[in-house]
Amino acid sequence: MQRIPEPELMTDEAQAIAYANADFEEPHNHFIELLKESIGDQLPDSGTAMDLGCGAADISIRFAKAFPNYQIDALDGAEAMLAEGVKAVNASGSTQRIHLIEAYLQETTLVNMEYDLIFSNSLLHHLHDPMLLWNAIKNAKGKPSVFIMDLMRPENDDMVDTLADKYARNEPEVLQRDFHNSLKAAFTPEEVVLQLAPAGLEGFKVTVVSDRHMTISR
C-alpha cells in the first residue's frame, strides 16, 4: 500500500480538545515502559530531555513522573495542541519541569542545548519529509540517547480497517478518522531503515513492538 501523507499539524481547536481528552493510557504508558527497557539504563539519573512533537503534552507529563530528576523541553508547531498542553501541564503540577515550546521542526535547532535524551511519539508519520526529523537528531549537540515510537503502515486497506476498528471503534469520530489516516500516512520499518542511512544514523535500532507500532532508538 502506498503512503498517503496527512496534514503535518493539528491546528483545529476541536481536534486538539478531542486528543487532549482521549484515553491514551495504554499506548502512552507502553511508550514509557519501552523507553525504560530500551535505553533507561543508559540515561543519567538526572538531566534534560526534549520531546519533539509533544502535542497536548501527555507523554511529557508521564515522562516527568517516571523520571523525576529531569527537565523537559516539549516542542510542537500547533498552537491549538499546545494550548491543551498548557492546561495539562498546569493540572499535573509540572510547570517547573516541563517547558512548552511552539516551533516548527524545520525551524528548530538542537545544537544550542545539549540534551541527555531526545524522544518523540507519533511525530514521524505526520512529516511530509521524514528527513526533517532525522537531520534534526543528527545535528543535535553532543550524542543524546534517542527513543522514538511511531505507527507503521499496514500492507493493505483491509488491515487498516481492522486496526482502526480494533483500537478506535469507541473513540469520537475525529479520532477514528485521524487514526485511519495516520495508519496510511505511516512509514514501514524498512522505509525507516533506508531513511536513517543518508542521515548517518545507521547505528539506530528499528524494532516492531506491536501490531501497529515500531520504535527507533539509540
pLDDT digits (tens, 9 = 90+) for 94-103: 999 999 999 9
DSSP per residue, 28-57? HHHHHHHHHHHHGGGS-SSEEEEEET-TTS
pLDDT digits (tens, 9 = 90+) for 9-67: 666 676 767 766 666 788 899 999 999 999 999 999 999 999 999 999 999 999 999 99
Q: Which residue has the cell 495539562?
A: 88
Bigger pLDDT: 97 vs 8: 97
At 70, list the grid cell: 529531569
Domains with residue ranges and CATH for the chain: 13-217 (3.40.50.150)
Calpha distance 216→218 (Å, rounded) = 7
pLDDT digits (tens, 9 = 90+) for 177-218: 999 999 999 999 999 999 999 999 989 999 999 999 999 999
pLDDT digits (tens, 9 = 90+) for 114-159: 999 999 999 999 999 999 999 999 989 889 999 999 999 999 999 9
Say what the pLDDT of residue 112 is.
75
User: For the whole model, what pTM was predicted?
Assistant: 0.92
Q: Kindly report the length of the chain.
A: 218
pLDDT digits (tens, 9 = 90+) for 82-92: 999 999 999 99
Report residue 214: phi and psi, to 5°: -130, 160
Calpha distance 31→156 (Å, rounded) = 26
Calpha distance 111→115 (Å, rounded) = 9
**What residues contact residue 137 under an 8 Å CB cut-off, 6+ apart?**
110, 118, 146, 199, 201
Say what the pLDDT of residue 83 is.
94
